[in-house]
Structure 1
């Protein structure tokens, strides 16, 4: 079972200003609880033991809110970036804090009722470098298609990458640490090499990227 997770939490949240001028996006509230706290609780229930969180914009507030993870019965370490290194750059920079050969990566700014335990109980096969959770019902343009459990370049039926996936450590060690790197580009190249598996998720999922979406999810959860 995979017991290590990285949560991406270094983004500026430009589209959610002015809220994110004083409070980072992962600390925005949904029904009285922060987005990132919901993730940590769900991961702890699924059996996760170690969480690494990358920080940049107002990151000290996230560290203050979560501490060392003991109140969640997990261990939390922080990978601090002087300026945000992008989605892939943040993962590569945090590799020294991650010990397992395979680990889960998710974004702090999504809201979902996804059950992490079955995902953590699987492992990457053969030459695969990632296993992605794709979202069927999403307002965003599709990123990839899915044939059986193989992720493919998008065709007529394309799904959104849900910002949740398993990653192979060894494949990431080739990248230089401390540089801005894009996870989307890495995944597209890996998909073209047929090195990515995936699954479709049809439950509750939202990328909280705007104030309107944050308001919508709060209204939905209050019903």
Structure 2
């Protein structure tokens, strides 16, 4: 089994829920304990053994590019710049764009939502074998602000919600096969969720439940909370 050494961090969003903070600062550069949110991910991925990280940028993307290129982070950073496109590509469209431009190899990769903060050990993912599956999702217990969850989980497989199993929240951490976007056209605006749901219906998505600290940094209040927490670790 080959270790997974590439990852992609999604950083092209506008962070509208965190305005006015994000009117002039892209959310990936918002500070958590004096460190940009995206740098927490880069360092944890690096420490786990990931050597190549693709970051897609759009809204205020030049700020992200300038900030990261000025740092010595110990990984090979590859920027997938979507800022010149007519409209944001969404997650699946952004993945396809990075693949088409040779920024991602045609091998499984770790995908990280840039707007979450976590103490999850990415070392648990680099040795994971997708086998013939299209995705492996990291799930968390439903937080108070998302009580109904996203998907069901039976201990190994992830599926669409129903009344027979408890639902959990997708943590925004996953391993994907490039095959999951094989039917997407380069430049197409396409979210990832419908593709994941289609794969679940074909029983091609596995998962795990994490217990480490995790939060969706989606509001100013949550940012303040995780900022205080991270100062004390």
What TM bracket, shorter-length normalisation? over 0.9
* In 2, Cα distance between equivalents of 1:108 and 1:68: 19
Which residue does 1:48 correspond to in 2? 50
SS of the aligned residue for 1:12 comes to coil
Which residue does 2:131 correspond to in 1? 125
Q: Give me the TM-score of the superposition, normalised by structure 1.
A: 0.94
Which residue does 1:183 correspond to in 2? 192
* In 1, Cα distance between equivalents of 2:179 and 2:225: 40
* In 2, Cα distance between equivalents of 1:78 and 1:68: 14
Which residue does 2:78 correspond to in 1? 77
1:169-218 deviation digits (Å, cap 9, x = unpaired): 13323210111111111111111111100000122111111111111111
Shift in Å at residue 137 of structure 1? 4.1
Which residue does 1:144 correspond to in 2? 151
Deviates more, 1:168-177 or 1:34-43: 168-177
The one of 166, 169, 183 equivalent to 1:174 is: 183
The one of 102, 110, 117 equivalent to 2:108 is: 102
- Contact conserved, 1:52 with 1:98, CA < 8 A, in 2? yes
Number of equivalences: 221
- 1:213 maps to 2:200: no
* In 2, Cα distance between equivalents of 1:189 and 1:45: 33
> Runs ≥4 in structure 1, deviation > 2 angstroms?
219-223
Unaligned runs of 5+ in 1: none
Shift in Å at residue 100 of structure 1? 4.2
